[in-house]
Amino acid sequence: AANKRSTFICLIETADGVKNIDGIAGLDGVDCLWVGHFDLSVSLGIPGDFAHPTFTAAMAKIVAAAKKHNKSLGRLVPNVAQGHDFYAQGFDFICYSGDVWVLHDAMADAVSKIRAGCQ
């Protein structure tokens, strides 16, 4: 980082970002590589297919660059199990859920309870 009070996070969400990941991760002052997983999958031509070999290869390249250059790795996860899985892969900056998921889960739970009470 530029100083002790700031953190510099590079968002990696394109095929070009993956292609240049070693150079990005090697920059002085970069603290974290953050994977924008959905946008990355779109850029790779496989929207939402996170199990596709092209996507998993891109992720492996990002993880390797972070380890090589001693950078933190971050991403959003939709559930606790994925949080654990990505931590085991070397991600140490994990953001749980997002506004759309939180709203969906709350609404689904409420609708389910209303339906159950109307039987």
For residue range 62-111, list pLDDT tens digits in order: 999 999 999 999 999 988 999 999 999 999 999 988 888 889 999 999 99
pLDDT at 109: 94
pLDDT at 3: 75
Question: What are the φ/ψ torsions at residue 13 (nearest 5 degrees)?
Answer: -140, 15
**59: number of Cβ within 10 Å:** 21
Domain definitions of the chain by residue range: 9-117
Second-level CATH architecture of 9-117: Alpha-Beta Barrel (3.20)
Does residue 71 contact residue 30 with C-beta atoms inside 8 Å?
yes
- State the Cα torsion 48-14-12-102 to the nearest 10°: -30
pLDDT at 1 over 80: no
Q: Render pLDDT for 26-64 as a digit per residue (tens, 0 to 9).
A: 999 999 999 999 999 999 999 999 999 999 999 999 999
pLDDT at 2: 67
The token duo for 109 is 């739970």
pLDDT at 30: 96
CA distances from 16 to 38, 46, 73 (A): 15, 15, 18
pLDDT at 108: 95
The predicted model scores a pTM of 0.83
Q: Which long-range contacts (CB under 8 A, 24 or more apart) does 17-23 make?
A: 18/44, 18/58, 18/61, 18/62, 21/61, 21/62, 21/65, 22/65, 22/68, 22/69
